[in-house]
Structure 1
Amino acid sequence: MVSRRAFLAGSGAVTAGLVQPFALPANAAVSSTSGSSARLLPVFNRPRHLDYADVSKLRGEDQTLLTTLQGVVNRTEPELYFIYDTGTESVPDAKWLSDMTLPKKLYKNPLDLVAKYRGRVRGAIVYDDAVPDSLNVATTLAGLENAVVANADQAKAYGLKIVKDLRGMFDDDRVKTYRWQLDNLFPLVSKQLLAGLPPTRVVDVEGVQWLEIARETTQIRDSSNRGTYNLDVSAKLGKEAVYVKFGDSFTDDGWGASVRHVSIKANDTVIATFEPNTPEEAPYLFDGSHSSIGGEGNRFADGGNYWIYRIAPPAGTTSLVVTVEMWNQYVVSATDTSPTRVEPFPYFRDYVVATKALVSWLPPGGATGDLLIEHYAKWPTLAPYMGWFANDVSGEWDGVDLASKGGSPVVAADFYMNGTVHAGLASPISDKPRATRRIDKPQNKVYLTLTFGEGDNIQYCQRRLREIWDDPKRGEVPTNWTIDPLLVETGPNIYSYFQRTATANDLLVCGPSGAGYTYPASWKPDELTQYLKMSGGFMRRTGLEEVYAYSGRQDNTWVLLSEEIAKGYAEYTPTKGIMQTWDGDTLTAKVGGIPITGGWGAPGKAAEFKAALDQRIASWDGSKPLFISGLIGAWSWSPSDMAELGPLLGDPYELVLANTFYDLLNRVLP
């Protein structure tokens, strides 16, 4: 690992005179972010007092101004904390704040904090509203220059000296923008981490009235309703454009609208025809950020996700029909009002600024993917990639694969708020694993262990996990919860909370696939050894003994972890068992001395899950124990759902925690 202090020591002016020499404030705790051989990520000092405010009603540009201010201020000592969701005590930001036993002061007008702390920053880096990616370059520079990120109007309104004005410096060539940043700012930025954040976000406009056009009322998941549908949206003609939204009619099971082809007729004349994810679609795709591209080029959206097409018909149009090849659980609606607006993406920028990290947004395919590979090559092995990837699901697979090949574990952190505060809140974390309930004589039963996924995602741990963890029915049935052991450095108070409040029926297990999200099969062997050693250290520090791991893929199918990889887990980590991603029949094997089971899931809630489970074991003859590791949808299930499922799991099932499950399996398997 390269020490960040070594790079700061030689900081100075760079090409084009953009970054002038800077000095940390006289009272800055340089050691707090200098790194050490004992740590993976930067250290932050413990907060002694917090000024806080509810910023949930502010627009993105104001949230970005405040979040980057937070980064500069909190680098020395955490003093600023923001509530992003609402001001009530029922949401995570407010809950975590309430848990902090230190003095706090509420600012009813969050922007008053700009005036209070203006003297702590050199001024503003002004981004170009016309070039969204310039906001990421501005964020990188803000960390280096001890400045905030602002637009020109904000700089003027708050009396902020313009340290650097990026207007007119870049165009819409994303590769060229981030190539400039890499070439010019790499010598100055931290080498402890690399960040990836979207420069903008899409925000719903309040008061928009949607007219439902079509809905699938049956829970269809097998494409059996695939066909051509004529969607008449003429009722919304009359203004500049018609907006057509495709979503999921059953949001809890993951088979939402899927579209392969689109044709648009105005007054019976075809004005457009296109397929998803093509240049022909681009002029009509108003908002695709909440959707994904499937294996056959279809665009789909599950759960609460959606996508929107914007159609501006010719003047005088009285009939507008959108014809789509569509299937599964669709709901289609239309409006004549622009339903969303685009504004700066503010989240996690405090951590990026405070650590002087370089932040980009490079989709992991084509020319942008090639540039992303260059980034990984320049950073040391094990330097985490923190944030996320463009293109949602497809970006996840490709992005994590590239990061794995480049030796970087991924930390999903793009919605991780107040990271500079949480990282400094030292809290007690036990390194002792949970005691295992031992089953001495296995019976001819179906031994089942159920695990909530998503725990590698530290923003999930901070937000969604806190929400469902506080369900009063938690603890009624044995449940495993994936979690990222890197929280010991990014949010020790968060990890400590879950560990301290776990019931006898709650077991924390390591999220995929160790300390940071990764695909082990994609790593270079020597670098994978480093990753496994690092993961083993974090697992021992946090008392984790089981791992949910991704494997590798061949022909779009998950394959069994190799003997070499399993031996690596056995040698370098305290892992007693691995549940891995899997397709097909029930997987139960011992590989490299470790029991491995394939993770299995089913749609719907308790009754439907139980029915699918019964079908899963239909061929079991009962002559010997059967072992199934089940995955629970973290975004759709809660402990209340688990409590409903538990009583349904009578004979022949026995629901156990993962430590009992793998202890028994280890003794049963040859």
Structure 2
Amino acid sequence: MVSRRAFLAGSGAVTVGGLGFIPGFATTAQAAVSSTSGSPARLLPVFNRPKHLDYGDVSKIGGADQTLLTTLQGVVNRTEPELYFIYDTGTQSIPDAKWLTDMRLPTKLYKNPLDLVAKYRNRIRGAIVHDPAVPDSLNVATTLAGLENAVVADADQAKAHGLRIVKDLRGMFDDDRVKTYRWQLDNLFPRVTKKLLAGLPPTQVVDVEGVVWQEIARETQQIRDSSNRGTYNLDVSAKLGKEAVYVRFADSFTDDGWGASVRHVVVTANGAEFARFEPGAPEEAPYLFDGSHSSIGGEANRFADGGNYWIYRFEPPAGTTSLVVTVEMWNQYLVSATDTSPTRVEPFAYFRDYVVATKALVSWLPPGGATGDLLIEHYAKWPTLAPYMGWFANDVSGEWDGVDLASKGGSPVIAADFYMNGTVHAGFTAPISEKPRPVRRISKPKNKVYLTLTFGEGDNIQYCQRHLRDLWDDPKRGDAPANWTISPLLLETGPGLFSHYQRTATANDLLVCGPSGAGYTYPGSWVPDEFTQYLKLTGSVLRRTGMDLVYSYSSRENDKWVLLSEEIAHGFATYTPLKGIMQTWDGDLLAVRQGGLPIVGQWGAPGNATEYKAALDARVAQWDGASPLFISGGVNAWGWTPSDVAELAGLLGDPYELLLGNTFFDLLNRVL
């Protein structure tokens, strides 16, 4: 990463991008600390402003070819952004195309995007050939591609495109992940950037088109209390006849977060048992075909909520005519089966342009056991505040453990594993206002229930790039007050994105900082002196983006989120312009003053607008009405839209008043 700043003098706006890829500060921490002295500093890499973009639609090509192109993009765009790609986002609106249109740059479409390899072949030295038999070798190849100005390819791709092999990794590694990444750390650390670390899965599971699933069992009621827990015999015999049967467990009501949960599995073929396992145990591994979209719960149960799922693969003995899967199961299950492999494994192509361009080291180390120990060693070797960009293995548990390790190691996390065209967005110039949104001041608080609603997920820059754009384009946005968490680090990773949201916000939209400041982190896990550096960095980027509210995590004790400490809250008050903090919370309604700042616990409820309102009413029924009641309500960004918020607002009569966050905290600050 490198440091530089640029302002529109006297305009109250910051212009980011366009000064070139130049050497930076001696350490990331020095860069951040210098930003508190009145001279804003830069944390993340800088790229030249794009002038013209060659682009292509890569949504229909495989992950191997996408990886070839994204690593080519990294080498080419390091000097000046010239390549841009349209990905399949799984949505109808395809934000990649929208952002390209919004930039209003001269462009040229390549109908066959692989033609760009020939056009830019003279810009690369050749190919780093990964070993398809060792998936993690693709990450080592990506690190080497950045260092050697090369692309990542397999042997067949290198031959097809006439690419010289710069380094051949075939046969260098085995399936020992720790040994592979130990070699990378020992041999490549001296050459990679010390400004950031990257974490990307080497492969991804891709849906196969045309697979037909047969429903086996469905819970038709929205059960959330395990009251239907029991033993279920799932007869999947109808799907016998091919090599294997695939059984998928999903959520029958995808909008409220109480999907299928399974504790124990026994499989019988023609009445004879041939599989028995508990979720998460080693015995499950041979049968777990795709568990990446599910999690392990506290009872050693596997569960999947919303649009998530998991799939078991059972290959019964030859001649099997009856196949029954017996499970202990509960909540809102939806079970289906097929005889066709529903997915395939491909290289994971996303975000590799940014990794290659910045010459970053990329790994994939689950944050527990021996891989977790090696990840801790990575954090120790990089300077304080060097961000960890990408994501973690093991879904929810990986998130908690991974962010905790990063926090202890002094690294804020930037969720970026699906952030596409980052080398273009980081260089695109856009005006960003430094002025906070004016407060609609309520002269005197009344004995009412003051409610503010906040969309989560904004620390995730890929969410800001993709799903947030879809939500933002909902025609009902602005009909009711809503807060939108967003990453202030878009100031550097995507100023055009941040500028768009800031410029097009209605009077009922308020941008607030996503957890927990300049990068996703758990404040209670930091070394205090290093957390002060993080707070100084947060103060700098908040002042430059005009935000003065933050959604923050704290830390966990006995599996519960606890109140931010007096010392941490005081640090926020000292080093940042915050007017208040919304924080994760597991207890009753919370509204307190801590460290000089008002803090509210984030409250939420599952279901649709009617159910949310009913849960609010139940909570408010305990209120005595003798003083104002303040509730900070969370909105599930993956399940709700502005239309849902507008519907809820229409249900709120007396004693409720729905407020934007700045008015909410202005009022709370005078009441506490």
Q: Which amino acid aligns with 1:35?
A: G
Aligned equivalent of 2:36: none
CA RMSD of aligned residues (A): 1.4
Aligned equivalent of 1:564: 567
Equivalenced residues, count? 645
The alignment status of 1:113 with 2:116, answered yes or no, reads yes
State which of 49, 54, 62 in structure 2 corresponds to 1:51.
54
- Aligned partners of 1:363 and 1:390 also within 8 Å: yes
Aligned equivalent of 2:152: 149
Aligned equivalent of 1:464: 467
The alignment status of 1:448 with 2:451, answered yes or no, reads yes
Q: Which amino acid aligns with 2:478?
A: G
1:170-202 superposed Cα distances (whole Å, 9 cap, x missing partner): 000000000000000000000110000000000
Query: 1: CA distance between counterparts of 2:429 and 2:491?
Result: 9
State which of 394, 397, 414 in structure 2 corresponds to 1:391.
394
Aligned equivalent of 1:8: none
State which of 410, 415, 420 in structure 1 corresponds to 2:413.
410
Q: Which amino acid aligns with 1:32?
A: F
Cα shift at 1:91: 1.5
- Aligned partners of 2:3 and 2:46 also within 8 Å: no
Aligned equivalent of 1:620: 623
The alignment status of 1:162 with 2:151, answered yes or no, reads no
State which of 312, 330, 334 in structure 1 corresponds to 2:333.
330
Aligned equivalent of 1:35: 24
Q: Which amino acid aligns with 1:358?
A: L
State which of 419, 423, 435 in structure 1 corresponds to 2:422.
419
Query: 1: CA distance between counterparts of 2:104 and 2:309?
Result: 41
Change (3 A) 1:178 1:623: same
The alignment status of 1:531 with 2:534, answered yes or no, reads yes
Aligned equivalent of 2:232: 229
Aligned equivalent of 1:258: 261
Aligned equivalent of 2:214: 211
Query: 2: CA distance between counterparts of 1:30 and 1:158?
Result: 34
Moved over 2 A (4+): 2-5, 33-37, 86-90
Aligned equivalent of 2:84: 81
State which of 60, 72, 76 in structure 1 corresponds to 2:75.
72
Aligned equivalent of 2:10: none
Aligned equivalent of 1:299: 302
Aligned equivalent of 2:643: 640
Aligned equivalent of 1:244: 247
Change (3 A) 1:3 1:482: closer
Query: 2: CA distance between counterparts of 1:87 and 1:324?
Result: 32
The alignment status of 1:611 with 2:614, answered yes or no, reads yes
Query: 1: CA distance between counterparts of 2:3 and 2:529?
Result: 23
Q: Which amino acid aligns with 2:636?
A: G
Q: 1:637 aligns to what SS in structure 2? A: coil
- Aligned partners of 1:54 and 1:87 also within 8 Å: no
Q: Which amino acid aligns with 1:97?
A: L
- Aligned partners of 1:139 and 1:353 also within 8 Å: yes
Query: 1: CA distance between counterparts of 2:323 and 2:125?
Result: 54
- Aligned partners of 1:35 and 1:41 also within 8 Å: no
- Aligned partners of 2:19 and 2:49 also within 8 Å: no
Between 364-373 and 640-649, report the one with greater CA deviation.
Answer: 640-649
Q: Which amino acid aligns with 2:506?
A: T
Which ranges in structure 2 are unaligned for 5 or more consecutive residues?
5-17, 26-30, 32-40
The alignment status of 1:353 with 2:356, answered yes or no, reads yes
- Aligned partners of 2:288 and 2:313 also within 8 Å: yes
Query: 2: CA distance between counterparts of 1:607 and 1:76?
Result: 53
The alignment status of 1:182 with 2:169, answered yes or no, reads no
Q: Which amino acid aligns with 2:584?
A: T
- Aligned partners of 1:34 and 1:42 also within 8 Å: no
Cα shift at 1:35: 2.7
State which of 509, 513, 518 in structure 1 corresponds to 2:516.
513
Q: 2:320 aligns to what SS in structure 1? A: coil
Cα shift at 1:406: 0.3
Query: 1: CA distance between counterparts of 2:239 and 2:114?
Result: 39
Q: 1:451 aligns to what SS in structure 2? A: strand
Q: Which amino acid aligns with 1:257?
A: A
Query: 2: CA distance between counterparts of 1:163 and 1:153?
Result: 15
Q: Which amino acid aligns with 1:344?
A: P
Change (3 A) 1:89 1:101: farther
- Aligned partners of 1:88 and 1:94 also within 8 Å: no
Cα shift at 1:643: 1.1
Greater relative CO, 1 or 2 (CA 8 Å, sep 6+): 2
- Aligned partners of 1:480 and 1:506 also within 8 Å: yes
Query: 1: CA distance between counterparts of 2:90 and 2:339?
Result: 32
The alignment status of 1:271 with 2:236, answered yes or no, reads no
Aligned-pair identity (%): 81
Query: 1: CA distance between counterparts of 2:592 and 2:90?
Result: 49
Cα shift at 1:293: 1.0
- Aligned partners of 1:4 and 1:191 also within 8 Å: no
Which ranges in structure 1 are unaligned for 5 or more consecutive residues?
6-28
Aligned equivalent of 2:35: none
Q: 1:428 aligns to what SS in structure 2? A: strand
Q: 2:284 aligns to what SS in structure 1? A: coil
- Aligned partners of 1:364 and 1:390 also within 8 Å: yes
Q: Which amino acid aligns with 2:70?
A: T
Q: Residues 114-129 of structure 1: matches in 2 within 5 Å?
A: 114-129=117-132
Query: 1: CA distance between counterparts of 2:657 and 2:163?
Result: 64
Query: 1: CA distance between counterparts of 2:655 and 2:408?
Result: 43
